[in-house]
Amino acid sequence: SSIFADIQIAKPIEVFALIADYNKDEFKEKVNLSVGAYRDTDGKPWVLPIVRRVEAQMASDPTLNHEYLPVAGLVDFRKAAIKLLLGEEDSRYGGVQAPGGTGTLRLAAAFTKKFFGCDTVFVSKPTWGNHKGIFSDAGFSNIVEYRYWNAEEKGLDYDGMLEDLRNAPPKSVVILHAVAHNPTGVDPTQDQWEGIAKVCREQDIFVVMDCAYQGFASGNLDTDAWSCRYFKDQGFEFFICQSFSKNFGLYNERVGNLCVVAKDCDAKMKTLSQLELIVRTAWSNPPNHGARIVATVLNSPQAYEQWKNDIHTMSQRILLMRQQLLSKLKAIGCPGTWDHITKQKGMFSYTGLNAQQSDMLLKKYHIYIMKSGRINMCGLTPANIDYVAEAINAVVT
Ligand code: PLP
């Protein structure tokens, strides 16, 4: 018999299983609200116009080749990514390019385990499905959820969050969503961020900011970087896991940057050198194509303006869908309060629908939605929003 015979089949990854089922479904009015990617008004994937333009230039550039990149990635990319995030350059900031936000989180987990001896990581309850797995694969034996979503108020459980973080044992890591929290769409206010930073400082918690949606919450890149810049201004030494999957629509190109904020240039240099060794044994060096697109755009004032327009297009469409879904639910008299839909930020809305209601949307109405009730706002289009609102009304009534 096979050497693999005793291997158990792994549990399906919910979001990818839903997408596969959706693709097979022949129902004409099916709607996919599960995927974590932007969709245009026709429900189609969208290549940003600025990305198309840069790719066309790259295709005919004879100076480009397929040589390996340096272990830490493209220098132009890393520098520009940090400036975009922190608003300035400084010799105490450094970056390591990695395959997507996921790659940067892997680096953060491996580094904190190896050099700080961390065992405990705090993640929000709920959080992006991959956080726990990444840190447990890196050897973290204690994955603790801090309170975050207040189901009754459909907002942030700020007091619960602080209370849980105050109980952090020494050498803890905390993952904080810098902006546009996935899956709830609920972000702390600036005052609340100040309180969170205070507890992290008191408890000496190592902060890993996960910044996967810069530009998606407010439409403004600087506004969305506020929390990261605040921690930097407060003198924290910390990591920021930066992803360009969403704000450049470069999902399958795997573009991420682990931004290191250290006390001084010497501490940064030492940290980067060790991160490079982790990269060397993990994937040796990162992919080029997407990072080169991002570097080209961020380093050209004209292309940068065009990119900002593209971000504006995406964020405005999401805001419009939030407003329309809310007003449709109100207009048909859907029971319950739905104002959280327009208060939440970013790509997702945590609707408050329970697992049973979400399952009914799926089975009866062919609306593909995560069991948690999370919906991707850009899965909604002018053509399907009435259908979705009616179906939500039907399952909650
Ligand atoms: N962090 C959060 C909160 C996310 O939602 C995602 C993607 O959905 C990521 C990180 C990772 O993104 P990437 O596709 O760049 O690996």
The encoded tokens of residue 94 equal 């450094």
160-212 confidence digits (pLDDT tens): 999 999 999 999 999 999 999 999 999 999 999 999 999 999 999 999 999 99
CA distance 342 to 345: 8
Task: Assess whether pLDDT exceeds 90 at residue 363.
Answer: yes
DSSP letter (8 states) at residue 263: S
Question: 257 CA to middle of ligand 1, Å?
Answer: 12
100-152 confidence digits (pLDDT tens): 999 999 999 999 999 999 999 999 999 999 999 999 999 999 999 999 999 99
Question: 397 CA to middle of ligand 1, Å?
Answer: 34
Task: For a ligand 1 pocket test, name from 131, 245, 283, 348 the mutation site with the most ligand atoms within 8 angstroms of its C-beta.
Answer: 245
Task: Assess whether pLDDT exceeds 90 at residue 87.
Answer: yes
CA distance 354 to 395: 10
Label residue 373 by pLDDT band (50, 70, 90).
very high
Residue 377 identity = M
**Ligand 1 atom 2 nearest Cα:** 212
Ligand 1: does its nearest atom lie under 6 Å from the Cβ of 102?
yes
Active site residue 338: no
Q: What is the pLDDT of residue 35?
A: 86
Question: 98 CA to middle of ligand 1, Å?
Answer: 12
- Ligand 1 atom closest to residue 102's alpha carbon, by position in its atom list: 16
304-343 confidence digits (pLDDT tens): 999 999 999 999 999 999 999 999 999 999 999 999 999 9
Q: What is the pLDDT of residue 291?
A: 98
Torsion (CA) 264, 265, 266, 272 in degrees, nearest 10: 110
Residue 17: other Cβ atoms inside 10 A: 13
Please, are residues 228 and 83 in contact by the beta-carbon 8 Å criterion? no
CA distance 323 to 36: 20
Active site residue 308: no
- Max alpha carbon distance in the chain (Å)? 62
Using the Cα atoms of residue 82, residue 86, residue 90 and residue 91 in order, give the sign of their dihedral: negative
Phi, psi of 176 (to 5 degrees): -115, 135
Ligand 1: does its nearest atom lie under 6 Å from the Cβ of 256?
yes
Structure-token match 């493209």, residue found: 74
Residues 6+ apart with CB under 8 A from 229: 86, 87
Mean pLDDT in the chain?
Answer: 97
Question: 373 CA to middle of ligand 1, Å?
Answer: 19
Question: 87 CA to middle of ligand 1, Å?
Answer: 22
pTM over the 0.80 mark:
yes
Q: Helix and strand tally (H, E) in the chain? A: 15, 13
Ligand 1: does its nearest atom lie under 6 Å from the Cβ of 34?
no
349 closest CA partner among 310, 387, 323, 327: 323
Label residue 19 by pLDDT band (50, 70, 90).
very high
Q: What is the pLDDT of residue 367?
A: 97
Percent of the chain predicted with pLDDT > 90? 98
236-277 confidence digits (pLDDT tens): 999 999 999 999 999 999 999 999 999 999 999 999 999 999
Ligand 1: does its nearest atom lie under 6 Å from the Cβ of 257?
no
Q: Mean pLDDT throughout 269-296?
A: 98
Task: For a ligand 1 pocket test, name from 15, 128, 377 the mutation site with the most ligand atoms within 8 angstroms of its C-beta.
Answer: 128
Active site residue 128: yes
C-alpha angle with apex 253: 251 to 259, nearest 5 degrees? 85
